[in-house]
Chains A and B, each alone.
Chain A
Amino acid sequence: MENIALATILMPFIGAALVLCLPERTGKWLAALVALMASVGTLALAQAFAAGGKVPLTVDVFSLAGMPLVGITVDRLSTLVAIAVVVLGFLVVLYSTAYMSEGNREHPHVARPRYYAYLLVFIGAMAGLVLSSTLLGQLVFFEITGACSWGLIGYYQKPKALKSALKALLVTHVAALGLYVAAGWLFAQTGSFALTGIAALAPQAKIVVFLGIMLAAWGKSAQLPLHVWLPDAMEAPTPVSAYLHAASMVKVGVYIFARALYSAGPVPEVIGWIGAVMALATMLYGFAMYLPQKDMKRLLAYSTIAQLSYIFLGLSLSVFGSKLAFDGAVAHIFNHAFAKSLFFLVAGALSYTCGTRVLPNLRGVLKKSPLLGLCFGVAALSISGVPPFNGFFSKFAILAAGFELSRAHWLVLPLVLLALIESVCSFGWLMSWFGKVVPGEPSEAVASATPVPWAMRVVFVVLLTMCLASSFIAASWLA
């Protein structure tokens, strides 16, 4: 199994190197092929894991004097999230082959090889981070993703894009200091970087390690107060936004937090309180920021911030002893990745076909392009948490866990109630935009829309299916 895992991580890196050497037209198909192979790798890994009775496995790749530096861990958590990040990576690469072309009405531009190279390196780094068993390994891949995101956000090389890219890099790097501190502290206390060592720490040390991890998580996942980079990062090409800012980079933060909690045994409750309160603050702030947004991608950025805070809430509640909250949060990582990617890719398709992604200019999409209208609706409903779409089931689990815990810790109750209120309000706001954009008579921009390319259609169909199925997959996988 470790071979499959290693192959999944390394293939994209090799592929990136190859893509840089090839001309543009073949390069993009090679990139898609490599990403597909990596996806197949994660699926094979998951299948092997399930066939072996879902027994967790940890293998060291590099050790120094018996101390693991970099290793691979295969368990329920890592296989599930790995599937999400790598498969979405493939879908985004496929989508980019169509989006980054002259047919794009908003940004007509054929992608340079470095675009696909960065994207493949990113996929590899994400797989590596998710499957890593040591804090050091996580750190290495964390920084690689930071560097790639700089390259991808600033891809168009306009002044605003470069500024946003630099802002993103600096904020996430400052946040990474937390991870450095955590890694260093862990090493100092246990003599190893292995994540399983966290369980052996004294409570004080655990608090330090967790605070460090949380700082890094907040930065990478754009939580208050380190959220400033995400809305501006929307300067990136839309497939990049869909991948980085919906499916993978922002999920790094919640993932490292989840992994630490998974490996840590009993965690001091103060961590849970800090996490939950900050999550709520971010959630409410994120919702408030929805309201003035007219650019669809900025709206989705804030929506991502709010949804990630739901995951943080779930993970923080799991500190109080609720497995339901943990499972719900992880399921939400999985579900949200697909739903938000769909939403971003719809925004991209609207840019491509109609030339604009400013919401007030888009009306009557359903009449001109039923597929885009359907995807917009499904994505909005999934994010808002309406059954039978995926968002509802994971949100329900987190809220149920919150209420369950409120008997013992009554302060959790106001947090959960506020989260519910935010959920209703964001539902109202998203459905209000749905009502303005999708039904009715087409506006000027929409009436002159070009058809949606086949690559995009394929991606949309896959994502639509996942928006219905992913919650069931996640629930049965984690059970």
Chain B
Amino acid sequence: MSLTPLGYLLLSVLLFLAGAGLSIVSARCERLAINLSSLLGVLGGAAGLAAALPVLLTGQGAAMAFDGPFAFARFTVRLDMLAALMVGVISLLALLTSLYAQSYVREYAGRGAWAMGLFMNTFIAAMLALVVVDNAFWFLVFFEAMSLASYFLVIFDQDEESVGAGLLYFLIAHAGSVLIMIAFFILYSHSGSLDFASFRGLKLSPAVASLVFVLAFLGFGAKAGMVPLHSWLPRAHPAAPSHGSAMMSGVMVKIGVFGIVKVGIDLLGAQAAWWGLLVLAVGAVSAVLGVLYALAEQDIKRLLAYSTVENVGIILMGVGAGMIGLATGHVALAALALMAAFYHLFNHALFKGLMFLGAGAILFRAHTRDMALLGGLARRMPQTALAFLVGAMAICALPPFNGFVSEWYSYQALFAMGHDGDFMMRLAGPAAMVMLALTGALAALCFVKAWGMTFSGQPQSAHAEHAEEAPFAMVLAMLLLAVLCALSGIGAPWLAPLFARVATSLTGGAAVPVAQGLTLHSGLFNTPASVSTPMLALLLVAAPIVPLLFMAVVRGGGVPRRHAGDAWACGYVTEKTMTVSPQGFAQPVRFMFAALYRLRDTLSPAAGFRRGLGATVAGAARVEPLWDERLIAPIVAGVQRIARRIAVLQRGDFRVYCLYVVVALVTLLLIAVR
């Protein structure tokens, strides 16, 4: 069966919705519900990939329009390069997490496991629809539906922390969507139609365009989890079930970035350089603060959530540089920077998804997220350990994995910005590069800690001691992601031009040569910088083989390796508690950067909000009875007073009433005679 890309996309959405619906229908039989939802998720993901790949490979988009039930909004659909990229990323991760969920959701048996399929599949379907609609109204509908579905995932555990995290998340997401709504409404008031196509052609004054951009930036940024609108992330992502966290961190925050790119570049055309500078600055700060807070965490999922903040920052740095390039007329620079951002978007989905799935596997078997209670899991869960190691290396941007490639391109883009631009750009580019370097070093500490505390050393709790390898579906999903991380790094010369094409579709310039043969180029200067990841990978694998062979020769006749005994503890017997703890490992950095950690508390508005709310509630409680006391009661009292006065007329004496009748008759006669 061969469909058009839009046809495959529709099929994909329908498959996910069918997965959701069938989960409800088979709610009684949980195993069936889990398996059905998982199967339909995998099929839906495959269909989504079938929709995205042709568009990405050929550069040929597709569009359609229908009349919806509402007169003010047509249902327009546009599958362009950017949308195809997002559809591809969503579908790929959805496919693998659905596979993973087949075993993972069993943990929730008896606690509403069928509902997991409902919410996950609706969530994914909403995201797929969101990225292709070309009308502001429908965009907002699907955006809110996505937040709604993921809200239910976050509160799934139904304990106090999850519900609190869910409320904060939903509130910030909703406030964000209201800001986006206002931005779209401003554009609507200028163009008279809610279609994005009408927004694209608008000629707005710089003030109005900037207002729209800032509103959209804040609204979508809240969804992306950039500093300072990130406080929901470290609470919500750990609370959600792990495959939900993988989708939320891997894909949903990217919808925020997608929105910023769509509004800033696609709709408004990146008119002013300060927009890009704002995005770049916020991205850089998010990157550094995100990873700084991550390395202080003891809960493995909170660590990963903060790391998402960091990576979103890196992506935003690329987007910011791209916007600056467009605004100042450096189209090639813009294309390179956007391409780096999109590549990192894709890579992060892969490795962060992998790591959350790994955290899920650990949670599944060792029943805790606290790294101080884990340890020694490498022996008991070897495949999970290997996959998680690949993910950790990828996220630290170590060659030859994919993180290295996208960060290399980001560096090159920032370098280009620092080399030929005006003074602001020449200052901002290198500053951003230094911050990126700092982020990389901090990430190394963070993820050595994450892997080391979890998988190395001795198990620190009973559950960790008795942990087993995760079930087959989970391990398969993780290993597939690990392989993809490796392939997208090694295969970068073939993958990079794809992202470059997506970038040039937005910048409208000529294609930037980012790869040639087996080498990646920065494509901009007379001596372009280059790196060849396939060769690098080959050499990295070959180089250790030489000492290995040497060792085999040398030790050929020697005593075999002894793998027993305790580590040295100055003569004391080694105890479990002697190994370095997560907090101890990060202690020097927490000490040296203490001011930045304090920033988190001093700038948090939570205490202020609580005080304000308390004052408002007290005030409202005082005001409520005032209407009765000040308005109704005096009127009633007044009326009763008047009534009492009038009541004097009711003497109760029959003769007085006769007198009244006579008086009335006489008065009327007199009037009639007049």
Contacts and interface: CB of A to CB of B under 8 A. Distances in A.
B33 to A, nearest CB: 15
Interface of A: 167, 225, 227-228, 231, 288-292, 324, 327, 366, 381, 386-388, 392-393, 396-397, 399-400, 403-404, 406-407, 417, 420, 423-424, 427-428, 431-432, 435-436, 439-440, 472, 475-476, 479
B623 interface: yes
Given A403-B186, A424-B174, A292 B181 contact: no
Interface stretch (B158-166, B243-251, B276-284, B544-552): B158-166
A440 B159 contact: yes
A324 B618 CA distance: 39
A424 B620 contact: no
Interface string B209-246: 00000000000000000000000000000000000000
Nearest to A285: B623
Contacts of A427: 171, 174
Contacts of A407: 189-190
A417 B182 contact: yes
Nearest to A473: B69
Contacts of A292: 617-618, 620-621, 624
Nearest to A396: B137
21 contacts: A231-B624, A386-B144, A387-B141, A388-B145, A392-B144, A399-B181, A400-B72, A400-B188, A403-B189, A404-B188, A406-B189, A407-B189, A417-B182, A435-B163, A435-B166, A435-B167, A439-B155, A440-B159, A440-B160, A475-B69, A475-B71
Contacts of B628: 228
Contacts of B618: 292
Interface string B512-523: 000000000000
B494 interface: no
Nearest to A393: B70
B86 interface: no
B569 to A, nearest CB: 46
Interface string B128-151: 000000000100111011001000
Give the secondary structure class of B's interface.
helix
Given A291-B613, A366-B158, 7 more contacts: A227-B627, A228-B627, A291-B621, A387-B145, A403-B188, A424-B175, A472-B69
Nearest to A479: B71
| Cβ-closest 10 pairs across A and B | A403-B185, A292-B621, A439-B158, A435-B163, A387-B141, A291-B617, A228-B627, A403-B189, A288-B620, A428-B171
B53 interface: no
Given A292-B621, A393-B70, A440-B158, A386 B186 contact: no
Interface string B596-631: 000000000000000001001111110110011001
A267 B364 CA distance: 66
B163 A440 contact: yes
A439 B163 contact: yes
Nearest to B163: A435
B interface bracket (residues with beta carbon within 8 Å of A): 35 or more
A439 B157 CA distance: 9
Contacts of B159: 440
A289 B624 CA distance: 7
Given A225-B627, A435-B167, A475-B70, A399 B620 contact: no
Contacts of B620: 288-292
B508 to A, nearest CB: 30
A381 B174 CA distance: 12
Contacts of A399: 181, 185
B178 interface: yes
B104 to A, nearest CB: 21
B194 interface: yes
B10 to A, nearest CB: 18
B534 to A, nearest CB: 47
A288 B70 CA distance: 33
Interface in B14-59: none
Nearest to A287: B620
B170 interface: yes
Interface string B618-658: 11110110011001100000000000000000000000000
